[in-house]
Each structure stands twice: as C-alpha cells, then as structure tokens.
Amino acid sequence: MFCSVILRGAVRQTDSLYTYRIPDELSDSVTAGSLVSVPFGNGNAERCGVVVDLSDSFDGDESKLKDIKSLMSSLPVLNSDQIELISRISERFNCTRGDAVELMVPSCVVNHKDPMEVYVELVSEKDALAVLESEKLRAISHINILEYLLKRGKCTRKEIMASLSCSASQIKALENKGLVRLVKEVSSEELSAVNDVKEAPSGKFTEEYDLSGEQRNAVEKILEGIEEKKDKTYLLFGITGSGKTEVYLNIAKKVISEGGSVIYMVPEISLTPQTINWIKGRLGDNVAVLHSRLTDKQRYEQWNNIRTGKARVVVGPRSGVFAPAVDLRLIILDEEHDGSYKAESHPRYSARDIARMRAKITGCSVVLGSATPSVESFYAANAGAFQLLELKERARQDARLPEIVPVDMKEQIKLGSGDMLSIPLRQAMSVAFSENKQVILLLNRRGFSRTLICGDCGEPVTCRNCSVPMTLHNNRRSGTQSLICHYCGYTFPSYEARCSVCNGTHFTKAGFGTQQLEEFLHNLFPHEKVLRMDQDSTMTPGAHKEIIDKFANKEASILIGTQMIAKGLDFPDVTVVGVLGADLMLASSSFKASERAFQLITQAAGRAGRGDAPGKVFIQSYRPEQPLFQYACSQNYRAFYEQEIEYRQKLKLPPFKAVGEIVLSLPDETLLSQRANELAKYLKDFLGYQDSRYQFEVYGPIPCVIYELRGKYRMSFVIKAVNKSAINSVFKRLITDFDHTKYPMSFDNDPQDG
C-alpha cells in the first residue's frame, strides 16, 4: 500500500504531495486523515505529516520510496471534509497546504502521545482453572497472577505488578507457557475528560424563554435550511438585546438532538466562564470549549472529544472553525462583524470565509449574527446571497436605552478642559464614583495614528484625490512632519496644510494614547483605581480575562479600553461610558474606519446601564453633528449602511472591488526604499499589461501606519481588482518572481486596518 502525505507546516519548497510506502504492520491502521511521522530529505530527518490519499499501486520507481516511520495518533486527525478544505485554504489565503494542515492539526495534537499501556489477559479461563487445579504450577507468584486475572479479568501489567509485588519476567514466563497474553492498548484513563469549568450551571443560566414571534420565525427558517443541507448562509440582524443568543441556542439544540454537530464561534473576549456555563447549562455536557487559557493537555482533550463525536457543540474563537466536528450541520458566528475573526498573522484567514467554504463542502448552514453587520455581509444579504432574518424588538420589555450625550470638543477646549476629558464627562464620573458606580472610557485602538484637525471647524485634513483623512508621519531624519494619504500615497509637508472646508491654517494634532490617558486620570482622580486594556496590556493569553474579572469584582472604578472591550460592557455597575477620540476613529486610514466607529458606539449605547441604574454615554467629538454619531445614538443601522455603501461605491472599495495589501519589511531603511521602488516598478509594469476586465489599480509604496515595528521598517502597496482571485494571482506572481529572503513580503487579500 502507498499513500500521499502533506508535511505539516511545509514551506513552499516542500509543499508537495509525497508518496510513501505503508509498511505491513501499519497497513490496517493508516487511512486518509492519519497523522504520521515520515523520514524526509537526504538526511531522513523526521517530519510530521498528514495522509491525504491511499493507493494500491505506484507508477514510478518503487525502490526509491521510503516507508512511513510511525503512526502518531491511533485515530485519523482530519475528517474527509477537512482534507478537501486543505487546498481551498491554500488557494484562497496564499499559504502552503502544509500551513493549512497546521491550522487544522494544532500543536497540542502533534505533541500528544497516545499513552499505550500493556494489558495482561488470560488466553482461556478454562485452561487457567485446569492448570491451577492440577497443581502443576510451582511458583507462588504464577498462581497469584492467574487467580488475580480470574477474579478481575483483563488488567494492566502495571496494576498486577503493584498489587502482587511480582516482576515483569514472572508475567512473561506465564506468556511463554501460553497461559496469558500481553496486548498494547490506549490507556482507558485517556478517555476521561477533565474540564476547567466545573461549577454546576445555576438556574439563571438554564432558563428557557418562550420565543417571541420574530425569534420563532428566525429559528424556523434556519432549521428549514439545515434540513435541506444546501449550504445556506443566514444573516441574523437583530438590535442589541433582541435575543439572538436564544435563537442560536434553539437551533443548536435541535441539531444535536438529531445527531449533528455545531460550531459556535464568539469573539475570544466573550469566552467568559459565564458565557460558557450558560451554553453548557442549555445544551448539556456534550459541549467542548476551546479558548486561549487552556493548557495543552486540556486543549487536546477538548479537541479529541470533538473528533470522536463525544462533544457535539464546539464553542470557541476564530480557530474553532477548524474543529474536526463529526457530521457538521451548523456553524454560528456571533458578532460576525468582529475584527477578531480575521487572523492578523500568516496565514491571514477569515473565519467567516472558512465557515462558508466548509458549508460548500459539507452542505451545513452558516448563521452570521450581529446588531451591526459588516457592510460586506449586509450587502450580500441585500443581494440575495445570504438570507436576511431580522429581530427588530428588544426581547425584554423592561430593557432601557441609556441617554446619549454628544459633546463638542471645540467648545470644551475653549472652556479649558483640554482635549482628553470634557467637563460634562468629568462631572458624571465624579457622581458615579460618589455612588460607588463604575466608568468605562473607550479610546480608539489606533491611538497612535495621528492626524491634523482644523482648530476652527473641526474638519481633518483630507487628501485632494481620495477625500480620506491624511495621516501624520514624523520624518526621523529631517525632523519634519509629513501628511500622507494611505490610499494613493499623496504626500506633502505638514506646514502646507489648509483646511479644505474653511481654508483655515490653525491645526491641532489629534490623538492621544491610552497610556497618556491613564496618567491624566491618576492626576485628576488620585483615589480611583484605573485598569487599562489595550494591545500592550493583553499580550499574554488570559490577560484579557484577568482585567475583565478585576473590573467585574470592582477592584477598580475606571476601565480604559480599546474596542476589544465593547462586547465586555456588560457590567451592571457601569453607569457612565465615554467614547473618546471618536473623530480619530473616523480619521484612521482604514476603509473600515466608519464601520468600526459605528459598531463601537452602537455597542456602547446598547450596553451601558444594564443594571437598575440608567446609563449615560458621552461621545466626545470635534464634529458631534456628524450623521454617523446620530445614527449610532439612535441605533439606526440602515441609515448608516445607506451612507456607507454609497461611499464605498464611489471610492470602489469592498464589496464593489477587492483590496489587497502587500507589506515589505526590512531592518535597513535605505535598502527598504530601494527595494520598494523596484517592486513598485515591477507591479506597475506587470499590471499595466493585464486585461482591463480585471480592473487592476496599484498604489504605493506608502509607509505603513506603524512604520517601525519590532526593529523593521515597513512599506505597503495596495492593489485593487475586480475580485479576490485577481488579487491572489498578483500575489502568486510576486511569490514566484521575488526572492523571499531579499524581499520579505506579507500578503493580505482582506485588509481590515489599512
């Protein structure tokens, strides 16, 4: 027997299908999906790979084939639908098939050794009894062993040796006499599952509601699709508090009651013990949870329960989409717009896209849920590619919306408040502290991205070609500052800036970071404790949860956070929420900026004041009259969408055209600009020759918003084209034509941050 193997984590040079011979002793156990260890290359270094295909014959020189060295896991690690997914992932996300295997076979699986135990059993009870009665056996230990086995049946050699204080050679002697048999098996201990969340779900977690009419309609429609097995995708668009979770739980329950499996993804930040308990309380014990706080052993156990079908529901963040679910019938993405569903390191996959790929292969249904869907998803729903299901009513009649207070920062600065905290917000904070309540201050994630804002009218400086805000860059060599457009690369020195609305020349630099804000708060409220949550304070796994737990236990009265905490705003004692730097969110160079700002503010507005005390949300802006803020305050997603889709169409941005980003990074700045120019020339020449139906456009080189990162300087190129596969074809070209060691490039066909 022969098999084809893909090496796990293969680089481009080793990303082939390699044929190996299956030695006789493994021919019964190796199948498609098996994890194997193989000798590779001239030195026969041991590599780990996955079998994707078996065959009886090999048309080539058999004598050159190597044997598989060993089987690393007694059960296959991939299902057939996952094997099919490998090349689709590699195609779509510009990675090797080996990278795709690595995504689906996490390291906890590779590092796990099936613990084999030696078991001892009687060859025949009758013979054993006869031998004992005949008194032929002299050694007392031999008699003891047989009696032990007669009483207990098959047991491990370890146990016999420990209980009877005998040796392995004494057992071996009985084997030689043909009385007992030694067998190697996976230890039964391994099959018992340990769990990190052990508390019994309390009543409140298991409560079931009578569904509202809207909820019932959504559940029925989705169940019809699941029944048909025709890879349908639903967009469950429901305002905050409309009870989307209840819809997920009802459909999931139905699927598992019929023997199918469900993948239920939530943003990592929402994987709190409360959420997990709630889901377990409702769906029973066959729920596996994957999150970043698991040890390797726990993670393996969860993964193994999914693979064996013991767990029927997989709850996890974006990596959950790769789970080896058996008979997959439903994939749920809660908060489908959330940025965490997109991987920001190689391979830059999107869990939403992978969910749809799995649906195409298995016929399962996909449910995307959100109060503020991504513009792309809502567009797809309007175009009929997804089925739109709407929840317009709040599930609980007593739920109250907080009061929204737009604050004009131009006035506040004139009144002497400075640009961080306005006077009304400070006053509300003082009141909250005096009542033992808590405050959350949201500050745009890209606090380091700066722009110039007109001191007279509040308008940011915009690009003359693209009408998007320009980003301020320090030129370290000359000590001057430039404004750069991150779409077209248009650049001019900052002293030449003119306001495009009022022609003003007085500008304020907008943008302060979370650390500055923290210092400021220490001075302003010296008796209040502050917690900060941003990319720096959450580098380690579990750091998120620790901060959230501390705040929930009221160890601090102020939480400063970037949009990562928007979903975590569910603290009953929070009565005041401040949205700071709202303009900066919009001034970020990403085409997703408005969308992100809208989502963040809507979420804040929907969640503050969840307890008995009503909440207040302050939105600090230089232009509080902007429609986007009005739409967010009134939770008017459709109005926002109409405005946004028009803008995207005008600028030919997704979903109208696909955007791709190439980042070139090198430790030497001079070399970087030289090679960036070579790349630019190549791209412009090459794309200039392409058929116009691909609608290629190329921009760059443009310094990245974060120009210097981990000792490297970074320049980017942006390509637009009719669709993602056109973008991918350019990436492929660059991969083959440029030496990766000289031109280290990363590729992204779905950039989120720009």
Pick 236 or 533: Cβ nearer ligand ADP: 236
Contacts of 535 (CB under 8 A, 6+ apart): 445, 562
Nearer to ligand ADP, 36 or 391 (CB): 391
Task: List Cβ<8 Å contacts ≥24 apart for 418-421.
Answer: 419/508, 419/510, 419/512, 420/512, 420/516, 420/517, 420/520, 420/580, 421/520, 421/524, 421/578, 421/580, 421/620
Instruction: Tell me: does residue 212 bind ligand ADP (CB under 6 A).
Output: yes
Residue 557 per-residue DSSP state: S
Contact status: 651 vs Zn ion (CB under 5 A) = no
The answer to whether 656 and 649 have CB atoms below 8 angstroms apart is yes
Stretch that binds ligand ADP, among 131-139, 206-214, 321-329, 466-474 (CB under 6 A): 206-214
Long-range pairs for 706-714 at CB < 8 Å and ≥24 separation? Answer: 706/448, 707/473, 709/665, 711/667, 712/665, 712/666, 712/667, 713/665, 713/666, 713/667, 713/668, 713/669, 713/672, 714/663, 714/664, 714/665, 714/672
- Name which of Zn ion, ligand ADP, none residue 487 binds, using a CB cut-off of 5 to 8 Å depending on partner kind: Zn ion
Our finding on whether 568 is near ligand ADP (CB under 6 A) is no
Site size for Zn ion, by CB under 5 A? 7
* Closer residue to ligand ADP (CB): 240 or 482: 240
Q: Is 695 left (phi over 0), alpha (psi -120 to 50) or beta?
A: left
Residues 394-413 that bind ligand ADP (CB under 6 A): 395-396
CB of 464 to Zn ion, least distance (A): 7
Q: Is 543 in the site for ligand ADP (CB under 6 A)?
A: no
Cis ω before 347 (30° cut-off from 0): yes
| Binding of residue 275 to ligand ADP (CB under 6 A) | no
Residue of 241, 267, 511, 615 interacting with ligand ADP (CB under 6 A): 241
Name the one range near Zn ion by CB under 5 A: 99-107, 445-453, 466-474, 508-516. Answer: 466-474
Comparing CB distances to ligand ADP, the nearer of 282 and 486 is 282
Contact range with ligand ADP by CB under 6 A, out of 145-153, 239-247, 503-511, 526-534: 239-247
- In the chain, how many H helices and how many E strands? 24, 30
Pick one of 225, 238, 654, 754: the residue that binds ligand ADP (CB under 6 A): 238
Which strands make up the sheet holding 45-55, listed edge to edge? 18-21, 2-7, 45-55, 35-40, 70-71
Cis peptide leading into residue 624 (ω within 30°): no
Q: Counting contacts by CB under 6 A, is residue 246 touching ligand ADP?
A: yes
The least distance separating Zn ion from the CB of residue 470, rounded to whole angstroms, comes to 8
One-letter identity of residue 665 = S
The least CB distance from residue 245 to Zn ion, in Å, is: 42
Q: How far is the CB of 429 from ligand ADP (least distance, A)?
A: 26
Give the one entry of ligand ADP, Zn ion, none that residue 448 binds, where binding means its C-beta sits below a cut-off of 5 to 8 angstroms depending on kind. none
For 95-139, the DSSP string reads --HHHHHHHHS-HHHHH----EEEEEEES-HHHHHHHHHHT----
Does 211 sit near ligand ADP (CB under 6 A)?
Answer: yes
Would you give the binding string for ligand ADP spanning residues 80-109, x where CB under 6 A is met? ------------------------------
Query: What residue has token string 């009687």?
Result: 122
CB of 474 to Zn ion, least distance (A): 20
Q: Is 209 in the site for ligand ADP (CB under 6 A)?
A: yes
Ramachandran area for residue 167 (φ above 0: left; ψ -120 to 50: alpha; else beta): beta
- Among Zn ion, ligand ADP, none, the one that 596 touches (CB under a kind-dependent 5 to 8 A) is none
215 binds, among ligand ADP, Zn ion, none (CB under 5 to 8 A by kind): ligand ADP
CA distances to 206, 298, 480, 676 from 201, in Å: 7, 20, 60, 57
Q: How far is the CB of 481 from Zn ion (least distance, A)?
A: 18
First to last CA, the chain: 50
Instruction: For the beta carbon of residue 679, count every other beta carbon within 10 angstroms.
Output: 20
Task: Select the residue interacting with ligand ADP from 82, 242, 362, 365 (CB under 6 A).
Answer: 242
Binding part of the chain for ligand ADP, among 41-49, 129-137, 210-218, 489-497 by CB under 6 A, reads: 210-218
CB of 238 to ligand ADP, least distance (A): 5
- Residues that bind ligand ADP (rule: CB under 6 A) add up to a total of 15
Identify the residue among 33, 98, 243, 660 touching ligand ADP (CB under 6 A).
243
463 touches Zn ion by CB under 5 A: yes
Q: Which does 212 bind (CB under 5 to 8 A by kind): Zn ion, ligand ADP, none?
A: ligand ADP
Longest alpha-carbon distance in the chain? 113
Separation of alpha carbons 581 and 445, rounded Å: 10
Tell me the residue length of the chain. 754
For ligand ADP, the closer of residues 594 and 603 by Cβ is 603
State which amino acid sits at residue 540: T
Query: What are the residues whose beta carbons fall under 8 Å from the beta carbon of 330, sequence distance 6 or more?
Result: 226, 251, 252, 255, 260, 261, 262, 263, 364, 365, 366, 367
Nearer to ligand ADP, 160 or 569 (CB): 569
Question: Binding to Zn ion (CB under 5 A): which residues in 478-497?
Answer: 485, 487-488, 490
Q: How far is the CB of 612 from ligand ADP (least distance, A)?
A: 14
In this chain, which of 87, 206, 427, 465 binds Zn ion, going by CB under 5 A? 465
Q: Facing residues of 484 across strands?
A: 471, 491
**Could you list the residues that contact ligand ADP (CB under 6 A)?**
209-212, 215, 238, 240-246, 395-396
